């Protein structure tokens, strides 16, 4: 990874935006990468604006890949105010925004963010799950719970297909 990119990722990591669970989210998407073990969950909440249903806020949780966190931080800011269709039309490199072009070994980190976004926004995406109703106790499972607690149903992680750009 070149030093410029490392610096931009470090800067994004110093003040990550939209980190954590989003109470009252309308949709949640969770994806994982079986190669590196990283997982990312994204929450999305909509609002009505000028007769359109647009993204009011999106938040995320991640296990710790710095590139994925940096991209998710930028992407959750980028999609604010967009319709689901507009957000879904964004390409992987657009989600990575000001990080600029990612090296081949880091492209899958941005694809993980894209996958979680698709999972949350596309009702036909197989990983999409409805958000827990806000009236439920605050025991909404977090990412770590997905691994450490016995499954009670409701959360399913879909591992993304390896795309050609990931191959060495
Ligand atoms: Fe796999 Fe970043 S190293 S998501």
Averaged pLDDT for residues 141-150? 55
Q: Which two tokens stand for residue 146?
A: 């997905």
Query: Residue 101 C-alpha to ligand 1 middle, in angstroms?
Result: 15
What spacing in Å lies between the alpha carbon of 137 and ligand 1's midpoint? 32
**Residue ranges of domains in the chain:** 3-148
Residues 26 and 131: beta-carbon distance below 8 Å:
yes
Among 64, 68, 162, residue to substitute to test ligand 1 (most atoms within 8 Å of Cβ) = 68
Pick the CATH number of 3-148 from 3.40.630.30, 3.20.20.450, 3.90.1010.10, 3.30.70.1400: 3.90.1010.10
Q: Would you say 97 and 78 are in contact if contact means Cβ atoms under 8 Å apart? A: yes
pTM value is 0.76
d(CA 135, CA 58): 20
Q: Among candidates 133, 114, 105, which has minimal Cα distance to 40? A: 114
**Atom number in ligand 1 closest to CA 106:** 2
List the single range of 11-15, 74-78, 102-106, 126-130 with lowest mean pLDDT. Answer: 126-130
Distance between CA atoms of residues 16 and 73, nearest Å:
5
> Which of 76, 80, 70 shows the shortest CA–CA distance to 109?
70
């Amino acid at each position: 990874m070149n030093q410029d990119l490392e610096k931009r990722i470090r800067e994004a990591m110093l003040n990550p935006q939209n980190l954590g669970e989003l109470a009252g989210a309308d949709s949640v998407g969770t994806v994982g990468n079986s190669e590196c073990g990283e997982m990312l969950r994204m929450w999305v909440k909509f609002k009505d604006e000028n007769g359109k249903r647009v993204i009011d806020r999106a938040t995320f949780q991640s296990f710790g890949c710095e590139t994925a966190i940096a991209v998710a931080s930028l992407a959750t800011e980028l999609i604010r105010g967009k319709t689901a269709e507009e957000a879904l039309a964004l390409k992987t490199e657009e989600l990575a925004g000001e990080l600029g072009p990612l090296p081949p070994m880091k492209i899958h980190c941005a694809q993980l963010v894209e996958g979680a976004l698709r999972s949350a926004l596309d009702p036909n995406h197989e990983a999409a799950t409805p958000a827990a109703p806000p009236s439920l106790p605050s025991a909404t499972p977090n990412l770590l719970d997905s691994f450490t607690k016995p499954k009670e149903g409701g959360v399913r992680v879909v591992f993304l297909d390896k795309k050609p750009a990931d191959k060495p």
